[in-house]
Structure 1
Amino acid sequence: MAPEVDAYLAALPPDQREALTALRARLQSLLPDHLEVMSYAMPGFRQPGPKGKMVIGYAAFARHLGLYPHSGTVIPQIDCTPFKTSKSGVLFTPDQPLPDFLLKAILATRQAEIAAGYGRKA
């Protein structure tokens, strides 16, 4: 467990802390060999190794929570209905967490994108 992530979660209101702590545990189980880090002021997971790419991040805001695959092309490829989305993430609330199938689809799409070399210079 990353102490910075613990501190981030501890500072949240109880409902958001519980929701993101549960999401954190789900992500850890789906990405067991990945490193837990803070990136862009949000908790997340990156691939192992010194040049491991960011796979996913999550954050709390005043009126919602968000999951961000650190890519502007992942979310538009996935049907996230009924959740509100932006180009870079999917929004949810403590009362309506992301279902496993959606979380797994986002992770699989991001990991496939990384494997295909997304973001590498030619």
Structure 2
Amino acid sequence: MKDQPSFQSIDDYILQFSPEVQKTLSTLRNIIKEEAPDAVEAIKYAMPTFVLHGNLVHFAAFKNHIGFYPTPSGIDFSKDSLTSYKVAKGTVQFPLDEPLPYDLIREIVQFRVAENKKKAKKNGNS
């Protein structure tokens, strides 16, 4: 079994890619940080992850796409806007040869922040 790379930070993760992909990943990261300023950055499942009252979103770069993982509820929330992308239960693939839909990503992150805060408040963890 091949060892998975061990990244200590999202910076370490981003630096392994080409300058073009680094720019895309950095922009994606900054949008998430803007919409979830209280979220904590982490590496989970070998991917950049934002945590706010539980996992908020993950993202990862692949050969031909950026995978964005806003959980199944994040996909359901925005399913009508995601019809031109490859979508699975909790993930969407944004092709690297197209601009990322940053406004849509922003909306999904806003939804996930509100959802996680609501769950935390319900559980008495506000």
Q: TM-score, normalised by structure 1?
A: 0.77
For residues 1-122 of structure 1, what are the structure 2 equivalents within 5 Å?
4-47=9-52, 52-69=53-70, 71-78=71-78, 79=80, 80-117=82-119
Query: What displacement does 1:108 show?
Result: 3.0
Alignment check: 8 A CA contact 1:35 1:46 kept:
yes
Give the Cα separation in 2 of the matches to 1:74 and 1:95.
23
Mark the runs of 5 or more structure 1 residues left unpaired by the alignment. none
Tell me the alpha carbon deviations over residues 1-49 of structure 1, each in whole angstroms, 9 at most, x when there is no partner: x9511111111122221110111111111111211111111102111xx
Say which one has the larger Rg.
2
SS in 2 for 1:73: helix
Relative contact order higher in (CA < 8 Å, ≥ 6 apart): 2
Give the Cα separation in 1 of the matches to 2:117 and 2:38.
16
Q: TM-score, normalised by structure 2?
A: 0.75
Give the Cα separation in 1 of the matches to 2:8 and 2:92.
25
Alignment check: 8 A CA contact 1:15 1:94 kept:
no
CA RMSD in angstroms comes to 2.5
| TM superposition outliers: structure 1 runs of 4+ over 4 Å | none
Give the Cα separation in 1 of the matches to 2:36 and 2:114.
14
